[in-house]
């Protein structure tokens, strides 16, 4: 990959990668860091990465970095939760995007990831498989199950009112 191709990757894919990371993490600074780390790794490997596969490489790298950060942070949170009581409250939502966001966050991580890649970013099943290291058939199953859970959640009256 040449420098101009790398710059084209930044122009073409940075916003999509950021949106994907933001949907996954729910935290803008973390999403920006993950995008930065993905592009850094792409630059470090730019001689070995084909320009045509750069988008998939970026999303795969970002996804893997996000998983690594999630695992690291979940271990730290378990330690912190033992010392701090969590406060629960119930909120009612009237905004459909907030309801959908809440429903997505209730899904298992892999289902959330594949649904965002498919429905928000428009990736094919094969591309999602490359990003998540799953077979296309597994991707289809996760999407199907995730959509069923979303439907159950969204059709439920108490979540919509």
- Distance, in Å, from the CA atom of 161 to the CA atom of 159, rounded to the nearest integer, reads 6
Say which residue the tokens 């406060």 belong to: 87
Contacts of 153 (CB under 8 A, 6+ apart): 103, 106, 159
| Annotated domain spans of the chain | 1-88, 90-161
- Distance, in Å, from the CA atom of 39 to the CA atom of 16, rounded to the nearest integer, reads 13
- Distance, in Å, from the CA atom of 126 to the CA atom of 147, rounded to the nearest integer, reads 18
CATH code at 90-161 = 1.10.10.10
Q: What is the pLDDT of residue 138?
A: 93
Q: What is the pTM of this model?
A: 0.56
Tell me yes or no: is domain 1-88 CATH 1.10.1740.
Answer: yes
**Of the candidates 46, 133, 113, 26, the residue with the CA atom closest to the CA atom of residue 10:** 46
Per-residue pLDDT of the chain (161 residues; tens, 9 = 90+): 888 888 898 998 888 889 888 888 888 888 898 899 999 998 988 888 888 888 888 888 888 888 887 777 666 555 555 444 444 444 554 567 777 888 888 888 889 889 888 888 888 899 889 888 899 999 999 999 998 988 888 777 565 55
Q: What is the pLDDT of residue 140?
A: 92
């Amino acid at each position: 990959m040449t420098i101009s191709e790398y710059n084209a990757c930044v122009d073409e894919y940075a916003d999509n990668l950021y949106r994907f990371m933001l949907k996954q993490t729910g935290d803008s600074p973390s999403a920006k860091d993950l995008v930065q780390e993905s592009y850094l790794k792409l630059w470090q490997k730019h001689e070995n990465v084909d320009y045509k596969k750069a988008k998939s490489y970026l999303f795969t790298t970002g996804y893997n970095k996000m998983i690594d950060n999630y695992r690291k942070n979940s271990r730290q949170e378990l330690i912190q939760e033992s010392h701090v009581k969590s406060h629960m409250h119930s909120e009612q939502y009237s905004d459909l995007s907030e309801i959908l966001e809440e429903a997505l966050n209730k899904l298992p991580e892999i289902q959330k990831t594949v649904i965002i890649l498919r429905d928000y970013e428009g990736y094919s099943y094969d591309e999602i498989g490359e990003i998540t290291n799953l077979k296309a058939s597994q991707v289809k199953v996760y999407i199907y199950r995730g959509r069923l859970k979303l439907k159950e959640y969204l059709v439920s009256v108490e979540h919509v009112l």
